[in-house]
Structure 1
Amino acid sequence: MRGRTIRLRLTLLYAGAFFIAGAILVALMYFYLDRSLGRRHGVGAQILVREYLAKRNRPIVSEELYQALTAQAAKERRDTLEAMLVWSLVSLGAIGIAAGGLGWLLAGRALHPLQQITATARRVADRSLHERIALTGPDDEIKDLADTFDAMLERLDRAFDGQRRFVANASHELRTPLTINRTLIEVALDDPDAPESTRRLGATLLEVNHRHEQLIDGLLVLASSEERLIERSRVDLAEVVRRVVTVASDAAERAGIEIRTELTAAAVSGDPVLLERLAQNLVDNAIRHNVSEDGWIAIRSAGTKGQGRLVVENTGPVVPAFEVDGLFEPFRRLACGDRIAESDRAPNSRGSGLGLSIVRSVAHAHGGDVRAAARPEGGLIVILTLPS
């Protein structure tokens, strides 16, 4: 029964119960008919012999005739039982097949409310949490399940609305003081009479402020990409990557990283802004976590039947295989020192630890998938697939 649908399992249970009940009924009928015919033919044979001999004025000692009539009666009894058994089994099989078909129809009708619940759950998962099942009918177990599911959706909807409001309010409250701090520091650095120590301190504070702004921006993108998209448009991953590479080329050149591209059209359906942020995070992550000498990044895009594919491969420090999955968790970094992010050529490129987390959230929001593998020579291969 494992691996079969519940409708098929219910049908098999219905048919099995019918066959068992029918087999028990046939056995009882066979036993009763056997006992009844046994008594009737035993007494009837004796009466028949006596009447036959009395009519012919023969003595009642004809054992040969008595045995012949008794054998004939026993044969008729066996033939009757065999015929009854054969026809009962044939009828049981035919009616059992019909009962299986009827059970299939009844199981489908009984499971129709569950199918409605499943369809609603899929629509809610793909679109929004505002839809409800609102199942009508008698107050049975299935309606109780639907009402419980509606109550759960109501609580989830309120929770996500509260999260969105909190993120919006927090972004405003956090960005405002950071913007003020950046403005004050820039004004102080514009003072020509500012001493060198003050300028160095201001540059450090600007770097810290910039990192905090990046962190807040990454958290906002991560929070906003947790839900699936409602509105989509046609996006070419190759064009998105070209724009991202153009912007990142200066940082890659300063870090001594060569970017190699092999881009073919890969049309997908999604949000252009989120997809560009996804590609930007992949490229920035490949630049940041690389080697100090002779580093490179290889970016390939291709469109296959039903999906678009983006592959970003880079040199870098050796990544243990057991740490690869953890890189997609927020604020997870590798505990290794050979990184461009900490080198003299790119001193301000240390990330917030949200790059790959945002990539995974955006990919899941688009109904896609992202996975990574460690290169034996060092670095990563990140493979992104999105439905077209």
Structure 2
Amino acid sequence: MKLRTRLTLWYGGAFFAAGAVLIAVVYLIVRDRIAQNLPDFGASTDEILAVRSQLGVDEQELLSFIQMAVDRQEAANDATLRAVLIWSVAALVVVGLLAVVLGFLMASRVLRPIDAITDTAKRVADRSLHERINLKGPGDELKRLADTFDGMLGRLDRAFEGQRRFVANASHELKTPLAINRTLLEVAAAEPGADHRIRDLAANLLAVNERHERLIDGLLTLAGSEQAPADPAPVDLADVVAHVAAQFAAEADAAGVTVETEAAEAVVVGDAALLERLVSNLIANGIRHNHSGGTLRVATGTADRRARLTVANTGPVVAAYEIDALFQPFRRGEGRDRIESVRGVGLGLSIVDSVTRVHEADLAAVSEPEGGLLVTVVFPEPA
């Protein structure tokens, strides 16, 4: 039950309880006052005889007349009490229903700042740390809560911005010496007097240097994928899959992996570069963690107006408890670091996870019984 409904029920219940107590008190007061105002017909015999002699009526007739007057007065009093009770209850019901409606409106009014805080928190969860509530009004509890939340967002924004700036600056600074190393190694290997040992050493160092460059590029992409798309636009995943699959055709042939694509229209609103990197990393992962003669199936489509990307590959069996670790940086299956693998730098699936979260997509990965992994990415409906 929503808080607005609970507040309305509490307000309505309190109103009905207070109204019931008020009706009971009024009823008792009216009954007491009526009982006190009844005429006292318990006169003495001498008084009755004096009245009888003055009126010239029989004593029995006088007593009967007095009793009839008392009965009629009591009946009138009872009718008055019943009317007071009935009309009071009816008024309580009518006014109580109006009070419930008023309570709902009041609860909506009171909870409106909380709705604003919730909406901002949802946008912040999508990496929009620049959002602020900026709640206007008196400095009450809700205003202080909103200001505290804004302050927390400001500190988080500065912290994340500093982290992204550090990664970008560090990666940029590391690229320069790696580029110099690559140039020096290529020049040394190309010297006419270089023997085979120098050329072999240069080739090995160039491979290590290239791997470090890929690692830095991956870190830059991972840092960039943590930010929401600045200018989202419609992107057809079918076109992206066709383009990326063509790029990996040579690598798939060399690895003996058959790539099967089923690219149906699947439009996503987001960043084209990040979506291309997502598809590229999934296809690369499906080829490099496969076996000769294996297959890689890539499919796109739309179900319930939600774009869907599915990548399934054969390969070694992956334990269910290891799947979550695959999407962590520098991790691979079989309980080893992916940093040890010559096939990648261990950031591919981490970037996939980050891109899906930025695009508010649902990412699911399950291990195939015969071996390999089935990865499904379901994107939200386009606005």
Structure 1-normalised TM-score? 0.87
How far apart are residue 67 of structure 1 and its match? 5.1
2:254 counterpart residue number? 254
- Distance in 2, matches of 1:321 and 1:130, equals 38
Matches within 5 A, 1:295-374: 295-335=294-334, 349-374=342-367
- Distance in 2, matches of 1:270 and 1:96, equals 51
2:371 counterpart residue number? 378
- Distance in 2, matches of 1:231 and 1:124, equals 17
* Shift in CA distance, 197/29, structure 1 to aligned 2, threshold 3 Å: same
The 8 Å contact of residues 326 and 332 in structure 2, kept in 1 or not, is answered as: yes
Deviating more after overlay: 64-73 vs 174-183:
64-73
Deviating more after overlay: 131-140 vs 113-122:
113-122
Post-superposition CA distance 1:224-255 (Å, at most 9, x none):
11121121122111111112111111111111
2:239 counterpart residue number? 239
How far apart are residue 297 of structure 1 and its match? 0.4
The answer to whether the aligner puts 1:33 opposite 2:30 as a matched pair is: yes
Q: Which secondary structure does the structure 1 equivalent of 2:265 belong to?
A: coil
Deviating more after overlay: 23-32 vs 318-327:
318-327
The 8 Å contact of residues 228 and 367 in structure 1, kept in 2 or not, is answered as: no
The 8 Å contact of residues 319 and 367 in structure 2, kept in 1 or not, is answered as: yes
- Distance in 2, matches of 1:61 and 1:326, equals 106
Matches within 5 A, 1:181-196: 181-196=181-196
Query: Which blocks of at least 5 consecutive residues in structure 2 are unaligned?
Result: none
The 8 Å contact of residues 127 and 230 in structure 1, kept in 2 or not, is answered as: no
How far apart are residue 119 of structure 1 and its match? 3.9
Matches within 5 A, 1:81-92: 81-92=81-92
* Shift in CA distance, 52/145, structure 1 to aligned 2, threshold 3 Å: farther
Q: Percent identity?
A: 49
- Distance in 2, matches of 1:80 and 1:91, equals 16
- Distance in 2, matches of 1:284 and 1:364, equals 20
* Shift in CA distance, 230/125, structure 1 to aligned 2, threshold 3 Å: farther
- Distance in 2, matches of 1:172 and 1:325, equals 30
The 8 Å contact of residues 127 and 226 in structure 2, kept in 1 or not, is answered as: no
Q: Which secondary structure does the structure 2 equivalent of 1:324 belong to?
A: helix
- Distance in 1, matches of 2:58 and 2:37, equals 25
- Distance in 1, matches of 2:153 and 2:56, equals 95
How far apart are residue 190 of structure 1 and its match? 2.0
How far apart are residue 114 of structure 1 and its match? 2.8
Aligned residue type for 1:32: I
How far apart are residue 137 of structure 1 and its match? 2.0
How far apart are residue 164 of structure 1 and its match? 2.5
Q: Which secondary structure does the structure 1 equivalent of 2:248 belong to?
A: helix
Aligned residue type for 2:29: Y
Post-superposition CA distance 1:241-276 (Å, at most 9, x none):
112111111111111111111111212112121111
- Distance in 2, matches of 1:8 and 1:65, equals 61
Aligned residue type for 1:19: F
- Distance in 1, matches of 2:185 and 2:14, equals 82
Matches within 5 A, 1:286-297: 286-291=286-291, 293-297=292-296
Matches within 5 A, 1:111-126: 111-125=111-125
Matches within 5 A, 1:97-136: 97-125=97-125, 128-136=128-136
How far apart are residue 18 of structure 1 and its match? 0.9
- Distance in 2, matches of 1:307 and 1:195, equals 60
How far apart are residue 69 of structure 1 and its match? 4.5
The 8 Å contact of residues 232 and 270 in structure 1, kept in 2 or not, is answered as: yes
* Shift in CA distance, 181/135, structure 1 to aligned 2, threshold 3 Å: same
Q: Which secondary structure does the structure 1 equivalent of 2:351 belong to?
A: helix
* Shift in CA distance, 55/117, structure 1 to aligned 2, threshold 3 Å: farther
Post-superposition CA distance 1:7-40 (Å, at most 9, x none):
2222222211111110000111122222333333
- Distance in 1, matches of 2:320 and 2:111, equals 45
- Distance in 1, matches of 2:30 and 2:201, equals 108
- Distance in 1, matches of 2:213 and 2:36, equals 101
The 8 Å contact of residues 125 and 228 in structure 1, kept in 2 or not, is answered as: no
Deviating more after overlay: 323-332 vs 18-27:
323-332
Task: Identify the match of residue 19 of structure 1 among 16, 20, 23.
Answer: 16
The 8 Å contact of residues 300 and 307 in structure 2, kept in 1 or not, is answered as: yes
- Distance in 1, matches of 2:275 and 2:190, equals 37
Query: Which blocks of at least 5 consecutive residues in structure 1 are unaligned?
Result: 343-347
Post-superposition CA distance 1:169-217 (Å, at most 9, x none):
1111111122222222222222343333333332222222222222221
How far apart are residue 65 of structure 1 and its match? 5.7
